[in-house]
Amino acid sequence: MLEVERGTDLHLPRRMRRLRRSESIRRMVRETHLSPADFIYPMFVVRGQDVREPIASMPGQFHLSVDQMAVEAGELRSLGVPAVLLFGLPGSKDAVGSSGYAADGVVQKAVRALKDADPDLLVITDVCLCEYTDHGHCGVLDDQGEVLNDPSVELLVRQSLSHAEAGADIVAPSDMMDGRVGAIRAGLDGNGMTEIAILAYAAKFASAYYGPFREAADSAPAMGDRRGYQMDPANGREAMMEMSLDLAEGADMLMVKPALPYLDIVQRARERFDLPIAAYNVSGEYAMIKAAAQQGWLDEERVIQETLLSIKRAGADVILTYHAKEMARWLQTPSH
């Protein structure tokens, strides 16, 4: 007589295979789904006219002048991608990043151009000084080259206000200064901009995966590195504390950056916080796939889809990714 453990389902082994045998069945029982609405598309804005310059370290990405924003807005609308994240490359830099909070700054102009082209496109602006300072750090330096927290926060508030005045829907502080979310919230509210949301780079790690971005944004530090204010990759509990602090200070969304090496942090954040969780699929993650695909070492479309699925499965509500447009195109085909 066959003896089985109480409660064991004798049909279970076959059931697992039966639900995998065709694409139609797999699609029907699939647990995680990607949509173009999940994506935020990062863009690099530069001075000039009719500029669409390829970024060597990030194949398929470009430096774009402000007049190219309408073209991008139209393409994103057709693909169903709802939002962009803007990074600016200014015409000049100084010790305090003053072009970052100038009313006629390149990001401020790009915000206006995008909103004129498509008022429904969500425009998010990166708030940081590193692209605008001549030393490449995310804040103001003292005489010894150390980043000063509070003076830096004051300038980040000015930058956020200038972006909001230009028409940004969401500001995204990425600097990792202490207290900057609360200061930005107070600055926005005090100037009658209570409707502007904050997407906080809450758990931003001092990662080696940012290399291509630093070339694209011309933001590599001239001396030292950013480990004094970005997070140690070894620390998970600290990431939860950073996110809790940003939540308490008024953040509306919390971001983990990078995504793939920190999916455990994404999952823990999703389980702990009720706010929307964003994950940034950063430049190094993008560039590795592109480089391997160019060599014919992997199936580019399948790897990109698997990568983005893994981020969403871990718990991200929103994915910031340079793959947004190509993935949205593939999702429009019946096979997806």
Q: Which residues are catalytically annotated?
A: 204, 257
DSSP string, 196-255: -EEEEEEEEB--GGGHHHHHHTT---SSS-STTTSBPTT-SHHHHHHHHHHHHHT-SEEE
Contacts of residue 237, Cβ cutoff 8 Å, sequence gap at least 6: none
Contacts of residue 146, Cβ cutoff 8 Å, sequence gap at least 6: 228
DSSP string, 110-170: HHHHHHHH-TTSEEEEEE-STTTBTT--SSEE-TTSPEEHHHHHHHHHHHHHHHHHHT-SE
Let me know: does 74 contact 91? Beta carbons within 8 Å.
Answer: no
Q: Residue for token digits 């015409």?
A: 91
